[in-house]
């Protein structure tokens, strides 16, 4: 089982079972500059989630949220930031572009204000570390120890397909929860008889949501059974509101650490939330190969290869160097509309009305 396929299938199952936002491959280091990437993040929505969705489908820059630009009187942009001017400028431009700020021109200067208060839209953050096969754990222990001592998220879980022994559990930090994932293999035969077990979804083709006509722009969809999560150990909540300790370098007999304030963690946490909101988990492409199919799993459309018998990563698995590659003849399949699928399956809004009260000036910022 490839980690990529495991990750996508787990994201699809989480999105199907839980409200909120599922995202994958997000940076979660504070001091060590992006060294830790979280495989999957699930964010519970707070009651303010819909207000966040009204603003923009994209991530709001952290510098814009943290600035002194408020919703009241428009303020000269340069006096509102406590960061490098270039970072401030980029944040203002982006916040204007996505409708979080609006602008007034006065005396040749740009004055900005927020179009709405930034809502605290997120509840609990769960981070999931994927390790389908515990026989090749790699850096697993270090990564989980970092997550627990930093406490950037509220809960951490290890997800695996392996049988989990007492010895495995003893090696993991106590607060880390453990899920064993049971999957049915994707069943092309069953699909060809029209017995799709999925719960529907959206793509750019006609049909496809009831499992009986799943052609997607010339790519035949296959069906699959849902994945089952067996909870081996529940995670213990981490003190996400307090300070944290981040190991930044390991030496023989010694580990260098950085101690992080609660404020520093809160900033990184907000950045994580916004990146998760903007990015989601459907950041994959589909292979330009005649053998490629799509698999519908828990309402999500995934790139599937019958030759390999699994979900594939078009970037790393596919291309003319693959022994099974077959060039496409005729038209290239139309892009599958993954954004439409995300909107249909979650509270994320692709094209919200926005919170701008009036049209900003037409002249370019700066
Ligand atoms: S390139 Fe290879 S792995 Fe990718 S879809 Fe084609 S046969 Fe499958």
Q: Determine the distance separating the centroid of ligand 1 and the alpha carbon of 316, expressed in angstroms.
A: 10
Mean pLDDT over the full length of the chain: 86
Range with the poorest average pLDDT among 80-94, 134-148, 168-182, 190-204: 190-204
Rounded Cα gap, residues 97 and 57, in angstroms: 12
> What's the pLDDT band for 137 if we cut at 50, 70, 90?
confident
User: Among 313, 318, 321, 333, which is best to mutate for testing ligand 1, by the most ligand atoms less than 8 A from CB?
Assistant: 318
User: For position 222, what pLDDT does the model report?
Assistant: 61
Q: Indicate if 200 and 329 belong to the same structural domain.
A: yes
- 216 and 83 in one domain? no
Report the C-alpha gap between 103 and 365 in whole angstroms.
8
Distance 253 CA to ligand 1 centre (A): 46
> Please, is 305 exposed, middle or buried when counting C-beta atoms within 10 Å of its C-beta (0-12, 13-18, 19+)?
buried
pLDDT per residue over 95-113, tens digit each?
A: 999 999 999 999 999 999 9
3 state SS for 91-118 = HHHHHHHCCCEEEEEECCEEEEEECCCC
Asked if the model's pLDDT at residue 213 lies above 90, the reply is no
Within a domain: residue 75? yes
Does a structural domain hold residue 246?
no
Q: Cβ neighbours of residue 48 under 8 Å, at least 6 residues apart?
A: 119, 120, 121
For the ranges 136-140, 254-258, 282-286, the maximum mean pLDDT occurs at 282-286
Domain span at 321: 189-225+285-345
CA dist., res. 114 & res. 52, Å (int)? 13
pLDDT reported for residue 207: 34
pLDDT-derived band at 210, boundaries 50, 70, 90: very low
Final residue in a domain of this structure, among 88, 114, 140:
114
Q: Is the pLDDT of residue 215 over 50?
A: no
**Across residues 192-202, what is the average pLDDT?**
35
In a domain, 173, yes or no: no
Residue 120, domain member (yes or no)? no
Whether residue 335 is contained in a domain is answered as: yes
CA 311–ligand 1 middle distance (angstroms)? 10
**Tokens 């409708």, located at residue:** 99
Distance 105 CA to ligand 1 centre (A): 54
- Say how many domains are in the chain: 2
Best CA proximity match to 29, nearest among 146, 142, 191, 116: 146
Poorest-pLDDT segment among 3-17, 191-205, 210-224: 191-205
Distance of CA 243 to the CA centre of its chain: 25
What does the block give as tokens for 335? 């892009």
Q: Looking at residues 222-233, what average pLDDT do you find?
A: 78
Q: Compute the distance between CA of residue 32 and CA of residue 200 in angstroms, rounded to an integer.
A: 42
Total-model pTM: 0.87
Whether 266 is in the pocket of ligand 1, judged by its Cβ within 6 Å, is no
Whether 354 shows a pLDDT value over 50: the answer reads: yes
**Residue 63 structure tokens:** 């510098």
Same domain for 196 and 340: yes
**What average pLDDT does the segment 38-52 reach?**
97
Structure tokens at 23: 């995202």
């Amino acid at each position: 089982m490839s980690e990529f396929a495991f990750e996508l299938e787990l994201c699809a199952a989480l999105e199907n079972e839980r409200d909120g936002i599922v995202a994958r491959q997000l940076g979660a280091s504070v001091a060590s500059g992006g060294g830790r990437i979280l495989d999957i993040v699930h964010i519970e929505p707070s009651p303010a989630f819909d207000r966040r969705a009204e603003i923009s489908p994209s991530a709001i820059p952290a510098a814009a949220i943290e600035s002194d630009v408020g919703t009241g009187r428009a303020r000269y942009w340069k006096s509102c930031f406590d960061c490098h001017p270039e970072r401030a400028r980029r944040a203002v431009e982006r916040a204007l572009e996505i409708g979080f700020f609006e602008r007034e021109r006065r005396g040749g200067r740009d004055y900005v204000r927020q179009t709405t208060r930034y809502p605290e839209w997120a509840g609990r953050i769960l981070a999931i570390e994927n390790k389908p096969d515990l026989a090749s754990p790699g850096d697993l222990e270090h990564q989980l120890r970092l997550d627990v001592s930093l406490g950037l998220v509220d809960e951490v879980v290890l997800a695996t397909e392996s049988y989990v022994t007492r010895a495995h559990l003893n090696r993991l930090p106590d607060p880390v929860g453990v899920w064993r994932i049971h999957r049915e293999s994707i069943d092309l035969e069953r699909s060809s008889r029209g017995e799709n077990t999925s719960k529907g979804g959206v793509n750019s083709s006609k049909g496809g949501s009831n499992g009986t006509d799943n052609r997607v722009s010339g790519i035949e969809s296959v069906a699959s059974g849902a994945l089952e999560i067996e909870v081996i150990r529940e995670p213990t909540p981490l003190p996400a509101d307090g300070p944290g300790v981040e190991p930044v370098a390991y030496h023989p007999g010694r580990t260098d650490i950085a101690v992080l304030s609660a404020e520093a963690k809160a900033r990184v946490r907000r950045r994580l939330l916004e990146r998760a909101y903007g990015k989601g988990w459907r950041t994959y492409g589909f292979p330009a190969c005649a053998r490629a199919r799509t698999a519908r799993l828990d309402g999500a459309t995934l790139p599937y290869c019958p030759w390999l018998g699994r979900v594939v990563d078009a970037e790393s698995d596919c291309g003319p160097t693959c022994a099974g590659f077959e060039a496409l003849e005729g038209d290239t399949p139309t892009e599958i509309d993954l954004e439409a699928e995300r909107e249909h399956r979650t509270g994320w809004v692709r094209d919200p009305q926005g919170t701008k009260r009036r049209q900003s000036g037409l002249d370019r910022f700066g």
